[in-house]
Amino acid sequence: MHTAGSGGRVQPARPGDPTRIGPYRIIGRLGSGGMGTVHAALSDDGTRVAVKVVHPAQADDPEFRARFRREVQLSARVSGPCLIPLLAADPEAELPWLATAYAPGPTLNQHLAAHGPLTGSTLYAFATGTAQALAAIHAAGVIHRDVKPQNVILSPAGPRVLDFGIAHAADGTSVTRTGVMTGTPGWISPEHYRTGTAGPAGDVFAWGALVAYAATGRLPFGTGAPDVVAFRVMSGDPDLDGIRAELREVVSKALAKEPGHRISAICAAESCSLLLSDQSTQVLPTDAGPEPTRVGALVAEEWRVPPVDDPAWPAPPGRPWRRKAAGVLAAAAVVGGITGGALAFPTNGSGDRTAGAAQTPGASSGSPSGTSPSAPDQAADPAGTSGEANTPTADPRGVRAPADPLAGIPNPAYTRADDTTQPHDGEWAASTRAATPEEEQVEKAIRDQVKSVLATKAISHIEPVVTFNRRAQTVMVTSGPVPQIPDDHTELFGRAGEMAACTVLAHRLKGHPTTWPYGRYAVYGKDADGSPAATLLDFGEATTGCHGEVAGKWQGDETGMETAQMPSSDKAEIRVADDTVKAINTVWDARVAEGNGPVAFDRDDAVTLGFDPVEKAAYVWAWDGYGALSSRAQQGAFQHVAEKTLCKKLVAEYTANRNWGYTRWSVGFYTGNSGVPVIIGSGDCLPQRQ
């Protein structure tokens, strides 16, 4: 089911259709599908919006609702010049819904039927824009899984990729629990057919087929029964006749049978952007890959498609500003978690959602308060086998994971350094419990650290299971099984497992580089006891660093703030949060009373503080409904007040409580009905720990 326009034509509303969904006025229909109905809608300022509402029967299915909630989470991560931004959502409504920007235009299928194949600079712009969209999706940790002509709109400004995250959200694995293959025949990768494996390389395969189809008007693996098409995909050569040699070379690399032989989405975008730049006077740099905003501008410049018949939509009636603001506040008040109600996501001037710092699998020094003084940055090696000097008086909160533990080692036991391939299901299934004293020590260290993090959010009932695959040189961390685990709990387990595995393995590699063979880790979620499969949440290796830093400085991000919004069960955290918020409000109110710039917030509980136990960071944010932080000067003033007040509290607790590991801070705010925070600043109250 698509969330954008189709040819720009709005169908009349039908009897029983809602007149209003969330903050949007419904004025017609754009289409419908298996998931539900897409309504044409207007915001109060007249912005055109597509609102997807699921069917009542599916809304009554708890499993479907959980998948829809996950779709919203995944979609909120992604932004880019050729993607349609998610504006708002309410997964908990009686009929769950989400709203995206409206993009007029036909699908690729519709355009080819009416006008024939794309040619010249328009074809190169199509290839560049769609590849850049996939690169943005993959960079956010999302897999599309349903790249096909019906999911690409040819808008007047360029191609727009739809429904990113929906196929990923529909099931944690590539095969549904009933054994039905997901995806559309002809747009499924060979490895998906063979083993059910789905990943970024599968998206790239479908992209190659998509570009071939756009260039020729022919399906590259032909038509026919699904099993016949599947055989051609797995064994036959694609039909690429008629595609110019330079573009055919890129498409051929995307359509390689083995995923490891395929070009990546970002490399495809770079190659196609160079072909596109040959049609234009603008040349893009190649040393660091194509910069998304410049690619978007170049695509728009060289885009040539027939004009779209897009009749004017009726305007909504006027509403008093204060009433509108009250609705905005109501939406903003529930943004605290994806399960809390309606969410909204701001966009910048180009229609792309703004975001804070990019998500990185970072770590920080110190430990969260509560159950264990050992820190995820620390090796947590009770037997002292890490090979590093430790003294009884050493503060474990100051021990950091080495960024390059195998530096200078000529023949390390771990031989898969810089291997970025995704672990496959067989490697997880073949992993076994600890078989040596060294493996038992690492297992305990990882388990203790994960449990310590989860305990701060009262979800220590999620049991981490640590297993080892020596052939793959990979340590697996698996949750559960936990049936119907909430998405925020899954997200936290994935981050905690990644951090614990990375830091423990980094220390172990540093201490025993010639004998310890494990340097990779993979984190999985399992929701049913006895299930032969699990969902891959994250993976990486401990030889490239575990710290979320930019130029040596810690940066807060949206993921950390989402975790910080989960209620804390740690008494010290609750006490420090309460004291700090009161102190920040006192200082801010005093500044407001002085009349020298700061503006009062519109509600008494505007300022909130929460903790991310993975990064050991305290997040302060404000719900800014009326624009108290609308200017850079006001934002700077709020950051100054929050940072100074918070650091004073954090350092005092750090000094008095050896179980307290929080010294990092991040300050941000939500403006209007925004569902994505604006991060103003981040740092460490003890800068020598950076």
At 503-523, the pLDDT tens digits run 999 999 999 999 999 999 999
Domain boundary among 46, 73, 103: 103
pLDDT for position 343: 57
| Lowest mean pLDDT across 44-53, 300-309, 576-585 | 300-309
Is 374 a member of any domain?
no
The answer on 469 and 448 residing in a single domain is yes
The edge-to-edge listing of strands for the beta sheet with 86-90 is: 20-21, 24-32, 36-42, 48-54, 97-101, 86-90, 343-344
Residue appearing with tokens 């509403």:
319
Q: Looking at 17, 45, 146, 203, which residue is catalytic?
A: 146
Higher per-residue pLDDT: 147 or 280: 147
Is 339 a member of any domain?
no
- Average pLDDT in the chain: 79
Per-residue confidence band for 79, with pLDDT thresholds at 50, 70 and 90? confident
The continuous run of DSSP H or E covering 170 comes out as helix 166-170
pLDDT for position 227: 78
- pLDDT tens per residue, range 83-115: 888 888 998 888 999 998 888 888 898 888 888
Beta bridge partners of 557: 357
- Decide: 429 and 397 in contact? Cβ < 8 Å: no
Start-to-end Cα distance in the chain: 47
- Decide: 337 and 678 in contact? Cβ < 8 Å: no
Compute the distance between CA of residue 113 and CA of residue 116 in angstroms, rounded to an integer.
Answer: 6
pLDDT for position 430: 93
- pLDDT tens per residue, range 232-244: 999 999 999 999 9
- Decide: 130 and 148 in contact? Cβ < 8 Å: no
Per-residue confidence band for 440, with pLDDT thresholds at 50, 70 and 90? very high
The answer on 608 and 491 residing in a single domain is no
Is the pLDDT at 211 greater than 60? The verdict is yes
φ, ψ of residue 598 in degrees (nearest 5): -55, 145
- Decide: 309 and 299 in contact? Cβ < 8 Å: no
Which of 682, 646, 381 lies closest to 555 in space, CA to CA? 682
- Decide: 140 and 359 in contact? Cβ < 8 Å: yes
Instruction: Count other C-beta atoms under 10 Å from residue 418's C-beta.
Output: 7
| Lowest mean pLDDT across 191-195, 275-279, 342-346, 489-493 | 342-346
DSSP string, 17-30: --SEETTEEEEEEE
pLDDT for position 538: 85
Longest Cα pair distance anywhere in the chain, in angstroms?
Answer: 76
Residues in the chain: 690
- pLDDT tens per residue, range 536-571: 888 889 987 786 666 667 888 888 888 999 999 999
Per-residue confidence band for 584, with pLDDT thresholds at 50, 70 and 90? very high
Q: According to the 3-state scheme, what is the secondary structure of 91-105?
A: CCCCCCEEEEECCCC
Compute the distance between CA of residue 440 and CA of residue 446 in angstroms, rounded to an integer.
Answer: 10
The answer on 473 and 414 residing in a single domain is yes
pLDDT for position 365: 33
pLDDT for position 393: 45
The answer on 114 and 94 residing in a single domain is no
Is 353 a member of any domain?
no
Is 384 a member of any domain?
no
pLDDT for position 66: 82
Per-residue confidence band for 357, with pLDDT thresholds at 50, 70 and 90? very low
The continuous run of DSSP H or E covering 670 comes out as strand 664-671
Higher per-residue pLDDT: 313 or 598: 598
Instruction: Count other C-beta atoms under 10 Å from residue 69's C-beta.
Output: 20
Q: How far is CA 81 from the centre of its chain?
A: 16
Alpha helices in 19-61 (DSSP H): 56-59
Residues with Cβ within 8 Å of residue 336, at least 6 apart in sequence: 565, 608
pLDDT for position 114: 83
Is 584 a member of any domain?
yes
The answer on 127 and 94 residing in a single domain is no
φ, ψ of residue 525 in degrees (nearest 5): -115, 135
Is 180 a member of any domain?
yes
DSSP string, 426-444: HHHHT-B---SHHHHHHHH
Q: What one-character DSSP code corresponds to residue 688? A: G
- pLDDT tens per residue, range 3-33: 444 444 677 777 778 889 999 999 888 876 6
The answer on 261 and 117 residing in a single domain is yes
- Decide: 491 and 508 in contact? Cβ < 8 Å: no
The answer on 83 and 202 residing in a single domain is no
pLDDT for position 217: 92
How many structural domains are present in the chain? 4
Is the pLDDT at 215 greater than 90? The verdict is yes
The answer on 137 and 181 residing in a single domain is yes
Mean pLDDT of 70-76: 77
pLDDT for position 486: 80
- pLDDT tens per residue, range 126-167: 999 999 999 988 888 888 888 999 889 998 889 999 875 443
Active site residue 146: yes
Instruction: Please say whether the dihedral angle defined by the alpha carbons of residues 134, 138, 140 and 144, taken in this order, is positive or negative.
Output: positive
pLDDT for position 246: 94
The answer on 154 and 86 residing in a single domain is no
CATH assignment at residue 175: 1.10.510.10
The answer on 602 and 472 residing in a single domain is no
- pLDDT tens per residue, range 637-654: 999 999 999 999 999 999
Predicted TM-score (pTM) of the model is 0.49
SS3 category, 620: strand
The answer on 486 and 583 residing in a single domain is no
Task: Sort 383 into a burial class: Cβ within 10 Å, 0-12 / 13-18 / 19+.
Answer: exposed
Compute the distance between CA of residue 471 and CA of residue 416 in angstroms, rounded to an integer.
Answer: 11
Is 333 a member of any domain?
no
Is 315 a member of any domain?
no
Beta strands 535-541; 549-550: pairing state: unpaired
Is the pLDDT at 187 greater than 50? The verdict is yes
- Decide: 660 and 651 in contact? Cβ < 8 Å: no
Domain boundary among 546, 573, 603: 546
pLDDT for position 167: 36
Per-residue confidence band for 310, with pLDDT thresholds at 50, 70 and 90? low
pLDDT for position 389: 39
pLDDT for position 311: 61
Compute the distance between CA of residue 241 and CA of residue 93 in angstroms, rounded to an integer.
Answer: 50
The answer on 274 and 137 residing in a single domain is yes
Domain hosting 120: range is 108-302
SS3 category, 621: strand
What's the one-letter identity of residue 669? F
Per-residue confidence band for 318, with pLDDT thresholds at 50, 70 and 90? very low
- Decide: 598 and 588 in contact? Cβ < 8 Å: yes
Domain boundary among 103, 122, 140: 103
Per-residue confidence band for 604, with pLDDT thresholds at 50, 70 and 90? confident
Q: What one-character DSSP code corresponds to residue 466? A: E
Beta bridge partners of 617: 612, 664
Rounded percentage of the chain residues whose pLDDT exceeds 70: 77
